[in-house]
């Protein structure tokens, strides 16, 4: 092949076709299963008006049943991808990969891989390979391109990764896999305004739409439809848009990036995790009552300030909705101090709008600190200062949080999180069966897992107990 005829998407197609479970280390395989269970906990526990609206839309479209909806029912692969993706996203508890100038949520690939795998009657191991491949491509792109700093949403790299994983499950050769990736990415250049104030419902829906479209267009590529092979280096390709050459280091076949992902304990953006953990540590260590708090000062790294502290993504003075609350460090710190946790209940709009938390968040100040910014994204450093009405002052600094790659959540901790999230939606026996299926995913069919997911309830049967994680 002449150098002028070589295209990055061709290399990506070959990378997809050559992917093998031997490229997934034992540690990465364990981490994949852990993240799958974590993702399922998020999806099963999703319950709210947005979920109802998407479900009603999916049911109104109508489609030949090919893939299972979490909570029961079957629909097309595309519609299952949409609804299940929104469910994964809804509580803002899904996994995250941090990179300079942006981030991504690899669990955004999950619903698409699940739906395509079920349609193809794939084994659990085939599903895991496709998921590992999708994680790898999405995270490698994120590591090399400051997507959000360029004004773009991280759904851009999701289009690449969903197409790649879907192509693998469909058994596509390198050439049609390359076309699938090119088509999906060319039509999914998403804007970071999605994350800006006033934050809307679309923040949690956008990745599902991207995944849905990538699944659909990969099916077209499987039938011979071609895409723009100059996606990256062509005259109007991504290299020009991003003002850099995108090098995904495709000579390295390893599929182990899942081990670098972060998991969450609290319903909040990833940059809020160290803030919430630090606030709760101070409150617990000093028996602080929110009634006695005169002021709170949060010193954070620049990205946390920009996205959730009142920086370039917009003012954070008056959150009113779930989507605004989980992207607001002032609200998250205040509600943690009052309620002692930040779970699904703390994101309900009646909780967000209550006078106690609205009053306290007005006494929370968020500032960016250059010395903390220097540590990001290898660490997520924060300092929290709490001043009381009697003049006493307490401070604490942390460089990470439980769930970060430096302090990962173990399988057992994720099992605890899964039980906490899903106990209102599944009885003890069903929860145990789902956990066992995920643990043995590389030895069972994907249909075994989806049959269990169809049995969970769509609405809670009882109240959730205290936060155990």
Q: At what angle do helices 155-169 and 110-119 cross, to 10 degrees?
A: 20
From CA 377, how far away is CA 362, in angstroms rounded? 28
What's residue 1's pLDDT? Answer: 38
Q: At what angle do helices 49-61 and 202-222 cross, to 10 degrees?
A: 30
Judge contact between 31 and 418, C-beta under 8 A.
no
For the chain, what percentages of helix, strand and coil (3-state, to nearest 5) are there?
Answer: 55, 10, 35
| pLDDT tens by residue, 214-247 | 999 999 999 999 999 999 999 999 999 999 999 9
Q: Look at the block and give the residue holding tokens 């107990």.
A: 465
How far is CA 358 from each of CA 28, 211, 354, 402, rounded to the nearest angstrom? 42, 36, 6, 28
Domain regions of the chain by residue span: 3-260, 270-398
Give residues with Cβ within 8 angstroms of 161, minimum separation 6.
106, 109, 133, 134, 135, 136, 137, 138, 141
Q: What's the DSSP call for residue 246?
A: -
What's residue 3's pLDDT? Answer: 41
What's residue 63's pLDDT? Answer: 85
What's residue 468's pLDDT? Answer: 64
The predicted model scores a pTM of 0.96
How far is CA 49 from each of CA 89, 322, 324, 410, 421, rounded to the nearest angstrom? 14, 11, 15, 32, 18
Radius of gyration of the chain (CA): 22
Burial class (CB in 10 A: 0-12, 13-18, 19+), 100: middle
Judge contact between 169 and 19, C-beta under 8 A.
no
From CA 277, how far away is CA 401, in angstroms rounded? 7
Judge contact between 372 and 366, C-beta under 8 A.
no
From CA 102, how far away is CA 83, in angstroms rounded? 25
CATH topology of domain 270-398: 60s Ribosomal Protein L30; Chain: A; (3.30.1330)
Say which CATH class 3-260 falls into.
mainly alpha
What's residue 267's pLDDT? Answer: 97
Judge contact between 392 and 377, C-beta under 8 A.
no
Least Cα distance to 239 among 144, 163, 164 occurs for 144
What's residue 467's pLDDT? Answer: 67
Question: The tokens of 298 are what?
Answer: 């949060």
Give the pairing type, strands 364-368 and 393-398: unpaired
| pLDDT tens by residue, 150-194 | 899 988 999 999 999 999 999 999 999 999 999 999 999 889 999
pLDDT < 50: residue spans in the chain: 1-3
SS3 250: coil
Q: Look at the block and give the residue holding tokens 């949409």.
A: 82
From CA 204, how far away is CA 92, in angstroms rounded? 8
């Amino acid at each position: 092949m002449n150098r002028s005829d070589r295209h990055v998407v061709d290399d990506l197609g070959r990378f997809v076709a050559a992917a093998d479970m031997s490229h997934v280390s034992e540690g990465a395989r364990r981490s994949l299963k852990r993240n799958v269970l974590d993702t399922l906990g998020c999806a099963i526990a999703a319950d709210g008006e947005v979920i109802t609206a998407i479900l009603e839309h999916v049911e109104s479209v109508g489609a030949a049943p090919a893939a299972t909806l979490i909570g029961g029912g079957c629909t097309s692969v595309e519609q299952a991808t949409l609804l299940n993706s929104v469910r994964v996203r809804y509580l803002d508890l899904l996994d995250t990969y941090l990179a300079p100038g942006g981030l991504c949520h690899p669990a955004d690939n999950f619903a698409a891989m699940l739906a395509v795998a079920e349609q193809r009657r794939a084994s659990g191991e085939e599903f895991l390979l496709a998921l590992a491949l999708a994680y790898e491509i999405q995270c490698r792109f994120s590591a090399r391109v400051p997507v959000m700093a360029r004004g773009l949403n991280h759904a851009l790299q999701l289009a690449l990764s969903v197409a790649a994983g879907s192509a693998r499950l469909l058994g596509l050769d390198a050439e049609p896999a390359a076309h699938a990736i090119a088509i999906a990415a060319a039509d999914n250049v998403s804007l970071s305004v999605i994350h800006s104030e006033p934050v809307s419902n679309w923040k949690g829906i956008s990745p599902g739409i991207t995944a849905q479209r990538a699944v659909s267009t990969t099916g077209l590529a499987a039938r011979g439809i071609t895409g723009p092979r100059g996606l990256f280096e062509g005259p109007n390709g991504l290299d020009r848009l991003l003002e850099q050459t995108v090098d995904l280091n495709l000579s390295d076949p390893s599929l182990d990036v899942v081990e670098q992902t972060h998991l969450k304990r609290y319903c909040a953006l990833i940059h809020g995790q160290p803030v919430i953990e630090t606030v709760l540590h101070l409150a617990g260590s000093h028996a602080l009552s929110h009634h006695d708090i005169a002021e709170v000062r949060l010193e954070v790294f620049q990205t946390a300030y920009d996205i959730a502290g009142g920086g370039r993504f917009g003012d954070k003075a008056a959150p009113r909705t779930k989507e605004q609350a989980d992207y607001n460090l002032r609200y998250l710190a205040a509600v943690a101090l009052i309620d002692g946790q930040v779970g699904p209940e703390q994101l309900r709009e009646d909780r967000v709008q209550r006078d106690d938390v609205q009053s306290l968040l007005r006494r929370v100040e968020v500032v960016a600190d250059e010395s903390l910014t220097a540590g990001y994204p290898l660490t997520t450093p924060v300092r929290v200062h709490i001043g009381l009405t009697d003049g006493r002052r307490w401070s604490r600094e942390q460089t990470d949080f439980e769930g970060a790659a430096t302090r990962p959540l173990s399988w057992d901790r994720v099992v605890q999180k899964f039980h906490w999230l899903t106990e209102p939606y599944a009885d003890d026996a069903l929860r145990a069966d789902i956990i066992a299926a995920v643990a043995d995913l590389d030895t069972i069919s994907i249909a075994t897992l989806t049959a269990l997911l169809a049995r969970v309830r769509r609405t809670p049967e009882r109240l959730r107990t205290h936060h155990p994680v």
